[in-house]
Amino acid sequence: MGDLRRVQIVGDGNVRIALLSIKDLGAYTAELLGQPRTLNRQVYIYTEVLTMTEIWNTMAVVSKERPITEYLSIQQLRLITESYYQRAFGTGQADRTTDERKFLTARAIHMWCVEGFNSPEAADFLGVLDFWDLFPDYRKPNYDVWKPMSLKRYFEEIIDPSFIRSLLSGPGPGDDNSPPRDRQREGQSFTISSVRTIASTEDIIVLD
């Protein structure tokens, strides 16, 4: 994943990106089941919309650590994407699978951070229903339903000392007292919403 002490922001870092936690997918889906308004329609689900700058700032505030910020120009990203494409789909490449994955990741980052494809506005343009237009009351603080996990709360949970201890010194995988599988992988459970793709944050890599 590269040096975790530095982060990269594509362009000016102000393109809006929709986010949600994988653990909330079931709750969102349960609310949509049986809704006549969603019959034969696609619904765009997300918890919040942040820019890449806001995402890294949230992480910095929660962790109380400020990583080094580097900016990757749109032209640089396009050159990197083209390079991965040539290496992945050219002839005689020894590590085609890895390069193909890097190409798809770079292309997805271009969609998120340049084209703005992962946003409610893009979904609306494509005629996809917005979950929060269907259920506006869910945003009210006193509404008695589940509370979707925000990115800030997600970061707070994964840096909690008790969670870290459970990963580093907890029982082995075969022990009945070991953390559940979703708890063990919680550090990789936040996703980026998309009309076409949902990718884990483990795929947001520092491009080289």
**144 vs 146: CA distance, rounded Å:** 7
For position 123, what pLDDT does the model report? 94
Confidence (pLDDT) at 67: 83
Report DSSP state, residue 15: -
Q: Are strands 68-72 and 6-10 parallel, antiparallel or unpaired?
A: parallel
pLDDT attached to residue 132? 92
> In 10 A of CB 180, how many CB atoms?
8
Interacting residues of 35 by C-beta distance below 8 A, sequence separation 6+: 134
Domain architecture of the chain: domains with CATH? 6-77+113-168+188-202 (3.90.25)
What are the phi and psi torsion angles at 167 (to 5°)?
-80, -40
Q: How far apart are CA 97 and CA 93, in angstroms?
A: 9
Euclidean distance between CA atoms 198 and 192, whole angstroms: 6
List pLDDT tens digits, range 72-111: 999 999 999 999 888 888 766 556 678 888 889 999 999 9
In this structure, which amino acid lies at residue 156? E
pLDDT at 202: 34
Instruction: Check residue 136 and report its DSSP letter.
Output: G
Please name the residues in contact with 207: beta carbons below 8 A apart, sequence gap of 6 or more.
Answer: 8, 72, 77, 80, 102, 106, 109
The residue type of 113 is C
Indicate whether this model's pTM tops 0.75. Answer: no
Q: What per-residue confidence (pLDDT) applies to 208? A: 36
Residue ranges for the chain with pLDDT beneath 50: 1-2, 178-188, 194-208
